[in-house]
Amino acid sequence: MKRFYPDFESIQAFTLSLDYHQNELTCVHCSKSDQFVSHGIIYKQRSSVLADKVGKRLFCSNRYGRSGCGRTFQLYVASEVPAFRYGAAHLFIFITALVAKVGISEAYHQATGQLETRNAWRWLNRLMFKLSHYRSVLKYRKDDLLNSFRSSSHYCQHLLPTLTRLFTSTKNGCIHYQTDQQQSFL
């Protein structure tokens, strides 16, 4: 099942036509089809008064005579990174600033506008965790990527060659990665 969509309207159109797609959709947990029910909207709180719609939930229903497993699946807009406060645009700004050899704290400040930059290191840890997957998507060996970047930070030393290749091969790396691979960038 597709997890990332270009906009909320396409998610809405898909969930309204679940009966039409029932033969194509099977639950990855119970392998049953025709059990999905639209289960609500996912909001992201932008400020104290503004919340944007960033996705919808699907429920493999085990209620009202249905025999599904009861698991919930979340469908997201590709410009949002699930379980991440900031969107893909902020992450893209952070990574492009790092590739441009801006310092880690300054890159985080450019991306988020926050003066406290300790979360920049958390972002780098999450990027390092997914590094092997990024390289498998690019289909390059580690030796091919470690030729041009020298940095005092071991994070940047290992991450930047891969992220440079990932972002130069696409227009907006985070959004393109999520729609193409159907998994979260972080």
Please write the tens of the pLDDT for every residue from 91-137.
Answer: 999 998 988 888 899 999 999 999 888 899 999 999 999 988 888 88
Q: Where are the domains of the chain?
A: 4-77, 88-181
The amino acid at 70: G
What is the pLDDT confidence band of residue 43, given thresholds at 50, 70 and 90?
A: very high
Nearest to 165 by CA among 99, 79, 91: 99
**Interval 127-165: pLDDT, tens:** 999 988 888 887 765 555 455 556 667 777 778 888 888
Main-chain phi, psi angles of 175, to 5 degrees: -65, -45
Average model confidence (pLDDT) for the chain?
Answer: 85
pLDDT beyond 70 at 64: yes
Which tokens is 36 given? 């999905």
Which tokens is 85 given? 């406060």
What pLDDT is attached to residue 169? Answer: 56
pTM above 0.95, yes or no: no
Q: Is 131 exposed, middle or buried (0-12, 13-18, 19+ CB in 10 A)?
A: middle
**Interval 6-26: pLDDT, tens:** 999 999 999 988 878 777 788
